[in-house]
Structure formats: structure tokens, C-alpha cells
Amino acid sequence: MTRNAVILDGAKSDFREIKKYVKKHFGDSVWAEVNNEFKNTIQHITINPMLGTQVEELAGLGFDNFRKILVRQTRVVYEFDSQQTIVHMFVHTKRDFKTHLANRLLSPI
């Protein structure tokens, strides 16, 4: 069963930052490869959201439907139900994950 993919505005902003960085430092051809990897990963998690690992910081709070999966050095953080897969953020592995997670998930809409 394929779920609808929903990418939240904050995640879209994260993605634009990644695109800008990769294109600036590595060029358009590398960006094309990375972009395809992101697209393929999102397609895979809409089919099988259990591919990702639990977000430990949230699992203890009862948010068992949140997962993260790596695309190169970027964590894709998403949640899922029977209808959709919602991408909350794209965050580089070098960033302080707990702080970014708290800021994103606890910020007002």
C-alpha cells in the first residue's frame, strides 16, 4: 500500500538549504544524484514506512510512528499512518539533532 507523501513547509525550507549547499559546493550533477536519492527514499518510505529507525528522542514519549532514515549525511524525519507519510524535517548529521528536533516539533505553526 502506498501512502500519500506530505512534506511540511519547514522540511521544504530544510530541503532548499540542502539544495543550495550541494549545488554551490559540488555542482549541478551531484545535486541531480542527491535529489534522486531523496526522491527514491521518500517513495520507498511511502510504501514501507518501517524502513526507517525509531526516533529515540520521541519513542519514549509514545510517538512510535515517527521514524528517521539517512540519505547520505541527512536525516529524513517523518511520521506515518495508514493514509500518509509526513516528512517533518531534513537535518544534516553534523547538526545538533535534539535541538533541531525540539525547535521544529515544538514550534508554533
Alpha carbons 107 and 109: distance in angstroms, whole number: 6
**Owning domain of residue 95:** 4-106
Residues paired with residue 91 on neighbouring β-strands, in sequence order = 75
Domain CATH code at residue 27? 3.30.2310.20
The reported pTM is 0.88
Q: How many domains does one find in the chain?
A: 1
Alpha carbons 87 and 80: distance in angstroms, whole number: 9
84-97 residue pLDDT tens: 999 999 998 888 77
Place of cell 528536533: 101
Amino acid code (one letter) for 85: T
6-64 residue pLDDT tens: 999 999 999 999 999 999 999 999 999 999 999 999 999 999 999 999 988 777 777 78
